[in-house]
């Protein structure tokens, strides 16, 4: 059994990892008292831990968690070319036709390669990742695209 999951000598009923978590986060959380609104309390806790949608989206940007071809079928974008550049791979499409497309699309099935535009900074990428995160159903699905600290 790993040392962190073994019972603590001071608190035999609690694994060491829980005591470590308490030591790390109790000072932060002690400023916040529990209220009658459990949903709001959870929302504040998730923001503190960066488990909220914004924190997950920021982590996804920092990790380049998804490739553009993975993003394309997940979100709606009227003008994806504000963020992405397309290249014809094995398609009978013309560049002019592709310029009129909007997301969602299956770029691979359409024979089109997608990359981020070179002039796009992380703030613009964050806009896209926010949409991706918002469109995913469960917390598990949202958290799966980026590593949690």
58 and 128 in a single domain? The answer is yes
Structural domain of residue 140, as residue ranges? 51-149
- Record the pTM: 0.68
Distance CA 112, CA 25 (A): 47
Q: Give 8's pLDDT tier (boundaries 50, 70, 90).
A: very low
106 and 134 in a single domain? The answer is yes
Structure confidence by residue, pLDDT tens digits, 27-84: 555 555 667 887 887 777 766 666 778 888 888 898 899 999 999 999 999 999 999 9
Distance CA 93, CA 111 (A): 9
121 and 59 in a single domain? The answer is yes
Whether 3 is in a domain gets the answer no
Structure confidence by residue, pLDDT tens digits, 103-121: 999 999 988 999 999 999 9
108 and 57 in a single domain? The answer is yes
- The CB density around residue 43, as the number of other CB atoms within 10 Å, is 12
34 and 95 in a single domain? The answer is no
Distance CA 34, CA 63 (A): 33
Average of per-residue pLDDT across 87-93: 77
37 and 67 in a single domain? The answer is no
Whether 1 is in a domain gets the answer no
Whether 115 is in a domain gets the answer yes
Whether 131 is in a domain gets the answer yes
Whether 144 is in a domain gets the answer yes
Buried/exposed code over 122-140 (b: 16+ C-beta within 10 A; e: otherwise) = eeebbebbbbbbeebeeee
78 and 141 in a single domain? The answer is yes
Distance CA 148, CA 55 (A): 10
């Amino acid at each position: 059994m790993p040392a962190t999951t073994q019972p603590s000598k001071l608190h035999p009923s609690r694994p060491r990892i829980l005591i470590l978590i308490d030591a790390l986060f109790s000072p932060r959380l002690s400023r916040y008292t529990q209220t009658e609104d459990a949903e709001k309390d959870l929302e504040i806790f998730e923001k503190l831990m960066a488990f909220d949608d914004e924190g997950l989206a920021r982590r996804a940007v920092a990790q380049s968690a998804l490739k553009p071809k993975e993003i394309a079928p997940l979100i709606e974008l009227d003008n994806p070319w504000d963020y992405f550049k397309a290249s014809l791979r094995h398609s009978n499409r013309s560049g002019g036709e592709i310029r009129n497309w909007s997301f969602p699309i299956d770029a691979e099935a359409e024979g089109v390669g997608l990359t981020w535009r070179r002039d796009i900074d992380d703030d613009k990428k964050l806009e896209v990742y926010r949409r991706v995160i918002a469109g995913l159903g469960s917390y598990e699905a949202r958290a799966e695209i980026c590593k949690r600290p």
